Amino acid sequence: MRASQLPLFTSKNDPSDAQVASHRLLARAGYIRKQGSGLYIYLPFGDMVHRKIVEIVREEMNRFGGVEVSLPVITPAELWQESGRWDIMGKEMMRMHDRHEVGYALGPTHEEAMTDLARSFLQSYKQLPINLYQIGKKYRDEIRPRYGLIRCREFTMKDAYSFHADDASLDATYQKMREAYRAIFERCGLKTIPVEADSGNMGGSGSEEFMVASQIGEETLLLCSDEACGYRSNQEKTEFISANYGLQPIVSGAIEDFDTGELKTIEEVAQLTGGAPRDFIKAVIYEDAAKIIVCFIPGDRELSEVKMKNLAGVNDYWLASEETIKAVTGAEPGYAGPVDLKYKDGDAVSVTAPPTGHKKTLRIFFDNHLKGRSGLIAGANRTHFHKKNVAEGRDFTITEAHDLINAHAGDICPQCKKAELTETRGIEVGHIFKLGKKYSEKMKLTVLDPNGKPLTPTMGCYGIGVGRTMATAIEQNHDERGLVWHKNLSPFLVYLVSLAKGDAETAFVDKLYATLQAHGISVYLDDRDERAGVKFNDAELVGFPFIVTVGKKTLESGKIELKLRRSGEKFELSESELIAKLRGD
């Protein structure tokens, strides 16, 4: 392809809202253009890369037994209502009504739609297992789209859904998908870290994310420092284990209130008492439309919102208002504690004054590292007062303890229980789930088993973000001059810079262009009437693996200049040597 036929869309300026390298460089190099918040146009080069990733995904899915279908972008509300997710999914799911007032969702994911398809034709266990997949558009109304293609509103995703007669069959396909994902990302030139993950709204018993290590990653990954252990997990899934709590219980005196005045935070009260934050009980309070959630954890740690919301069964939630906190504790915010709390777990709490009498159910959760501890300091549920010498089992009782804390580097590995965890940031490019029977049961998908009786299939789910994979490939592969594409993703293998002046030089360039194409080498010929510096800058910016330069010097020496985009190495080669080098012979 020639630049005179397929123009470059490069720019000298970064987008004003670009925060990360992939967004900045893909826009400057003319691969994408922003059309609205979280909405991007794929320009010709961008569309070529996108299509190449799609084809890699398709080839590997087919190789590992996937069956491709194509579903509508919008999904009838009745399917979401069948699964129970119509009211659970948050504002990220865009809901709408047609002219007949029939409800639909602009699909953020397609578990319901694919299960509905499966129940339309699956009748016998003999048809199982089957792994249906599609590569299509998704829409999620992100509250803060950012990082270009990494977190946008509309995106292309490969999502697959497998159906099985038993868990053993699901396990086998799950392992095949792990192999397929490794092959896909390897072909895309990405180094991934598979980690255990939380299943979130998808549900299910098992979940694994494929992460790319990156400083701009939105996920925290925790890895065991002992390579022999091999534990890798997303922070939201990692169990918190520490040797700092409960090894030597503090002998406690009588519990008593003490005046802390306007001091509310653990840091302020610790400075007043000389105590350590680890010996405090921290209260974190959330609410949603129907519940108030109070979580008690050690004072030196942070609550995991993911663990909290999974326990409480909430999706759209927020930090409790001052009014709600006063209703639960009888005190201003900052003085909540587990002793003498006005209500117990499961009680209905009035959060508005009569006569409305609006009530929310109170849920109280304790972290397991508070179990059996004494000599603690906690809020007294009385404004300006805290309690000291608080002992679990005497002053309050934990009947059921939970893992509520975010683990961090330095904490103990939950797998080997010996080595410490290390920490890195990562971008999720793929996610696989064992869904179990969550959707097949709710949507009444059954087949006949060998005895002619109804059998409810168990399911798996496997997703890859195509645009995110494209952006992440650049996060791992760029330099100060521009993009650096892996040969499997690059729009063209060669950027041919023509410095030709006059008919003889132009004829030589045209002949070389045709010869390379005849040998199956994809070439982009920059035949613009531009200065050499402009062409060289654009060649570096767009990031094709090889830059070939032809001009007067070539005709005089008979040698063609080849530059490797990644390393910057240069070679002077004959035409035959050039072809062999480009073909990898």
| CATH number for the domain that contains residue 517 | 3.40.50.800
- Asked whether residue 67 is assigned to any structural domain, the reply reads yes
The encoded tokens of residue 543 equal 């990031």
Q: Max alpha carbon distance in the chain (Å)?
A: 100
Identify whether residues 455 and 306 lie together within a single domain: no
pLDDT above 60 for 173: yes
Distance CA 551, CA 501 (A): 7
Identify whether residues 172 and 283 lie together within a single domain: no
What is the structure's pLDDT at 247? 47
- Asked whether residue 233 is assigned to any structural domain, the reply reads no
Identify whether residues 267 and 167 lie together within a single domain: no
- Asked whether residue 127 is assigned to any structural domain, the reply reads yes
User: What are the helix and strand counts (H, E) for the chain?
Assistant: 14, 32
The tens digit of pLDDT for each residue in 424-464 reads 999 999 999 999 999 999 999 999 999 999 999 999 999 99
Identify whether residues 374 and 450 lie together within a single domain: no
Report the percent of the chain where pLDDT is more than 90: 85
The encoded tokens of residue 356 equal 């409305």
Identify whether residues 514 and 452 lie together within a single domain: no
**125 in Cβ contact with 97 (< 8 Å):** no
Identify whether residues 325 and 390 lie together within a single domain: yes
- Residue 198's pLDDT band (cuts 50, 70, 90): low
- Asked whether residue 27 is assigned to any structural domain, the reply reads no
551 vs 247, higher pLDDT: 551
What is the structure's pLDDT at 245? 67
Identify whether residues 391 and 436 lie together within a single domain: no
What is the structure's pLDDT at 305? 94
What's this model's pTM, rounded to 2 decimal places?
0.84
Distance of CA 225 to the CA centre of its chain: 23
What does the buried/exposed string (b/e) look like for 211-235 if buried means 16 or more CB atoms within 10 Å of the residue's CB?
bbbbebbebbbbbbeeeeeebbbbb
Identify whether residues 71 and 180 lie together within a single domain: yes
Identify whether residues 466 and 505 lie together within a single domain: no
- Domain's final residue, options 385, 402, 419: 402
What is the structure's pLDDT at 315? 81
Identify whether residues 155 and 55 lie together within a single domain: yes
What is the structure's pLDDT at 253? 85
Q: What is the mean pLDDT of residues 329-353?
A: 90
Identify whether residues 298 and 338 lie together within a single domain: yes
Identify whether residues 96 and 150 lie together within a single domain: yes
Distance CA 111, CA 445 (A): 13
Distance CA 359, CA 132 (A): 45
What is the structure's pLDDT at 194? 87
pLDDT above 70 for 326: yes
What is the structure's pLDDT at 252? 66
| CATH number for the domain that contains residue 434 | 3.30.930.10
- Asked whether residue 143 is assigned to any structural domain, the reply reads yes
Q: What is the domain count for the chain? A: 3
- Asked whether residue 414 is assigned to any structural domain, the reply reads no
- Residue 355's pLDDT band (cuts 50, 70, 90): very low
Distances (CA, A) of 541 to 12, 483, 488, 524: 10, 6, 18, 14
Domain span including residue 82: 47-192+203-216+429-475
- Asked whether residue 4 is assigned to any structural domain, the reply reads no
Q: What is the mean pLDDT of residues 60-72?
A: 97
- Asked whether residue 62 is assigned to any structural domain, the reply reads yes
Least confident of 194-203, 325-334, 374-383, 503-512: 194-203
The encoded tokens of residue 366 equal 């304790």
